[in-house]
Amino acid sequence: MTEITREKLIIIGSGPAAWTAAIYASRAQLDPFVIEGSFHRTMVPGGQLMFTTEVENYPGFPDGVTGQAMMEDFKKQALRFGTRSVMEDVERVDFSGPPHRLWTSGGAELEADAVIIATGANARWLEVPGEERLAQSGGGVSACAVCDGALPAFRDQVIAIVGGGDSAIEDATYMTKFASEVVVIHRRDELRASKIMQERAFENPKIRFLWNTVVTEVIGDEVIEKLKLENRETGETSELEVGGMFVAIGHTPNTGFLRGQVDLEPSGYIHLPSSWRTATSAPGVYAAGDCMDDYYRQAVTAAGTGCMAALEAERWLSHG
Ligand SMILES: Cc1cc2nc3c(=O)[nH]c(=O)nc-3n(C[C@H](O)[C@H](O)[C@H](O)COP(=O)(O)OP(=O)(O)OC[C@H]3O[C@@H](n4cnc5c(N)ncnc54)[C@H](O)[C@@H]3O)c2cc1C
């Protein structure tokens, strides 16, 4: 029979939200146990920042910091106050408690009085040749214009934005501050973005649209040089010289294993019943970071909500 380990507080995830929650919880002597996640092609312990090079917008780092160094330091800071952790996935949960029950990919069964979910989200990629290599090497391919768009490499370049929803049009408008031209590449002949955003984008002289078009390859050795394109209607192929590409086709929150256990939005993000609170629909279960936030999606907001979740869990544990 599997031995069941009882914990006071389990934190699921290991991005900025999870480690911030762990720093607060361990300093408050809640003895948190972090289940970090394991290594997958599109997600690793440390979270989304492990896939980016330079982080320039996190306060406290005047010279910037690499995503990996930053996440190593987040973890070190949490371990310093006694946080324990394991690199496994949570595969299944039963939140009918407390105690709540969790099952991990390592075969462990655990119980917890409180749980903080900080499992983040995965940016969707095009999955075409060249894209992953140049995204991981910092070669001008990214899934976050607000994060990376202001980097010097993108200044005065032709920048491609792939997508047709609100995020894509927001990214396109944002990139007109830096780029010489922004080319929105969209697979359909009309945008899904709100009418007002569309109108602003159509009026912007720096933005050009390529309709019914898909990217089939990203070309460049060290840095992106051009895109191979295909028109979906005519089948015609072409090339576009660019100095950067931002993929803005959405995110998938890592919440599949929670279905039926906490309320989720139709989009899969965790539903939080009260604004400015991280409590979920299950008592003693909190959510922080990109798994519940489809709007801000930044490291500093993830860390902020990690702090909120730890403070709420602490109150729950002392009064519950
Ligand atoms: C290319 C790129 C560049 C970016 N650059 C910046 C930037 O410069 N500045 C900025 O502020 N933001 C940036 N962001 C956004 C930022 O990375 C995210 O907003 C932030 O990482 C969200 O933190 P999080 O803690 O919510 O989750 P994530 O960082 O997504 O981490 C989630 C964690 O949960 C774990 N996990 C998932 N499922 C399970 C499970 N079932 N069991 C256990 N663990 C699980 C994963 O292993 C991962 O460690 C960037 C994002 C991308 C994609």
Instruction: Say yes or no: 52 and 69 in one domain.
Output: yes
User: Residue 71 sits in which domain range?
Assistant: 4-122+252-319
Ligand 1 atom with the shortest distance to the CA of 104: 42
Both 165 and 221 in a single domain? Answer: yes
Percent of all residues in the chain with a pLDDT value above 90, rounded to a whole number = 88
| CATH number of the structural domain spanning residue 24 | 3.50.50.60
Regarding the beta carbon of 300 and ligand 1, being less than 6 Å apart is answered: yes
Domain C-terminal end among 202, 223, 247: 247
Alpha-carbon gap, residue 85 to 47, rounded angstroms:
15
Q: Which of 35, 29, 12 lies closest to 314, judged by CA?
A: 29
- Whole-number Å distance between alpha carbons of 128 and 162: 13
HSE-up of 145 (CA within 13 Å, CB side)?
Answer: 28
In tens, the pLDDT along 177-234 reads 999 999 999 999 999 888 888 899 999 999 999 999 999 999 999 999 999 999 999 9
**Mean pLDDT across the stretch 268-280?**
97
Q: Are residues 212 and 283 in the same domain?
A: no
Which of 144, 171, 290, 293 is the catalytic position?
144
Q: Is 156 a catalytic residue?
A: no
Backbone angles phi, psi at 295, to 5 degrees: -115, -55
Measured in degrees and rounded to the nearest 5, phi and psi for residue 79 equal -65, -30
Give the model's pLDDT for residue 54: 84
Q: pLDDT digit string (tens) for 138-179?
A: 899 999 898 899 999 999 999 999 999 988 999 999 999 999
- Residues 187, 211: Cα–Cα separation, whole Å: 6
Q: Specify whether 52 is located in the same domain as 118.
A: yes
CA distance linking residue 279 with residue 63, whole number of Å? 36
Mean pLDDT across the stretch 52-79?
Answer: 93
Within the chain, strands assigned E span: 4-12, 33-35, 54-55, 65-66, 84-86, 90-94, 100-104, 109-117, 121-123, 141-142, 158-162, 181-185, 207-210, 213-219, 226-231, 237-241, 244-247, 251-253, 285-287
In one-letter notation, the amino acid at residue 250 is G
What's the rounded mean pLDDT across residues 44-52?
90
Q: Which ligand 1 atom is the nearest neighbour of the CA of 143?
A: 1
53: closest CA among 42, 40, 64?
Answer: 64
Query: Is 10 in the same domain as 82?
Result: yes
Handedness of CA 59, 62, 63, 69 (dihedral sign): negative
89, 113, 147, 171: the catalytic one is 147
d(CA 24, CA 77): 10
CA distance 34 to 53: 25
Residues 239 and 261 in one domain: no
Distance 125 CA to ligand 1 centre (A): 15
CA dist., res. 123 & res. 206, Å (int): 26
The residue from 197, 229, 247 where one domain ends is: 247
- Last residue of a domain, which of 247, 279, 297? 247
* Same-domain pairing of 143 and 240: yes
Q: Does 181 lie in the same domain as 216?
A: yes
Residues 6+ apart with CB under 8 A from 249: 124, 125, 126, 162, 163, 165, 168
The finding on whether 99 has its CB within 6 A of some atom of ligand 1 is: no
Nearest atom in ligand 1 to the alpha carbon of residue 293 is 26
Do residues 217 and 69 share a domain? no
Q: Which of 147, 251, 295 to mutate to test the pocket of ligand 1 (most atoms within 8 A of CB)?
A: 147
Within this chain, do residues 111 and 133 fall inside the same structural domain, yes or no?
Answer: no
Pocket test for ligand 1, best of 49, 133, 148 (most atoms within 8 A of CB): 49
Number of domains in the chain: 2
When mean pLDDT is compared over 40-49, 133-142, 193-202, 263-272, the highest value belongs to: 263-272
How much is the pLDDT for 296? 93
Pick the catalytic residue: 89, 113, 148, 171?
Answer: 148
- For residues 25 and 107, membership in a common domain is answered with yes
Residues 243 and 129 in one domain: yes
pLDDT over threshold 90, residue 41? no
Query: Could you confirm whether 89 is annotated as catalytic?
Result: no
Residue 294 is a catalytic residue: no
Residue 1: is its pLDDT beyond 70? no
Average pLDDT of the chain is 95
Whole-number pLDDT of residue 320: 61
Instruction: Give the predicted TM-score (pTM) of the model.
Output: 0.90
